[in-house]
Amino acid sequence: MAEITYRQAVNLALREEMRRDPTVILFGEDVGRYGGAFKVTEGLFEEFGPERVLDAPLAEAGIAGTALGAALTGMRPVAEIMYIDFCTIALDQIVNQAAKIRYMSGGQVSVPLVIRTQSGSGRSSAAQHAQSLEAWLCHAPGLLVIMPSDPASARGLLKSAIRENNPVVFIEHKLLYNMKGDVPDDGEPIPLGKARILREGNDCTVVATSTEVAKAMGAADTLADEGIEVEIIDPMTLVPLDIDTIFSSVRKTGHLVIAHEACERAGFGGEIATRVGELAFDYLDAPIARVATPPVPSPFAPILESAILPNAAQIADAVRRICLRGNVNGRIHTYQAGTGRDH
């Protein structure tokens, strides 16, 4: 394995797939000579040239529409929409066109299209450049939605997305670009629709996405010192969702916490909670808890932005709350909030 950044992992996946398949093309705002707003596409223009790495104007609907046209005529376009907030400008092309064409053609036409976009807060990008809108996209039948949380998953999932014959929205979090991690040398794609268990535990299941995965791992370390063993699940793909892995974990632990950065109201955590409640309710020993952002626009001021974002302490508190009087590791816990002690 090699240790590389999340940014390098995405770049590597793009480079490998472009070398493997000449129909893979890239375009978007500043993806060419400049190397992308987040420097993810750096060096690709020099290697593959202007016919396969194309700079687009500031026109998100045009970017999505052009990518759709290219996909329908035999190419495998990877189009970048610089911020997920700007997908709103292209929703007609993404949701009403790309997501529906295969169905409306009776399966005669496939749409091998990837839209890479960046989501999330943490850089004082303010209300119009820091949203987490994955739930909007998950709501549209026909779209696949991916949220990698580390370099290895970013590389492997992007390779699978590019080879997929249906439209995929690939969501990268801005704060993950500098994250380092081990990436396998074999370069194999990671199958879509299969969650991974990052940490095993018997007391509480935590399902976390994107940046919340690392925070959940930190919370699990804290809770382990208190005798609470947490199982961490990273879905990786929201559509398709590997609900079976989540069910199996909940049946074992009897408790579920869901953590995501998006607004709690109508966030994707509600979908997970509902499905578990419908099909695994009898295994739950306490209500399901969600850790998410309150329903407010993302503030520009760093201190206010930090105040609304979920963190490891909140995830740990949610686990303690639902395990409050549960039988954890053979002991009865009645956690006293703020003391770090159970009684």
Catalytic residues: 60, 129
Q: Name, in order, each residue with C-beta under 8 angstroms of 209's C-beta and a sequence gap of 6 or more.
A: 134, 147, 149, 234, 235, 238, 259, 260, 261, 268
Angle between helices 312-322 and 212-224 (to 10 degrees): 60
Token output for 169? 């929205």
Token digits for 301?
Answer: 């001021």
What ranges make up the beta strands (E) of the chain? 2-5, 24-28, 53-55, 76-81, 114-119, 144-146, 168-173, 180-183, 196-199, 204-208, 230-234, 237-239, 256-263, 289-293, 327-328, 331-332, 335-336, 341-342
Q: Which helix (H) or strand (E) holds 222?
A: helix 212-224
CB 38 within 8 A of CB 118: yes
Q: Find out whether 94 and 143 touch, Cβ atoms under 8 Å.
A: yes
**Cα–Cα distance between 41 and 57 in angstroms, integer?**
17
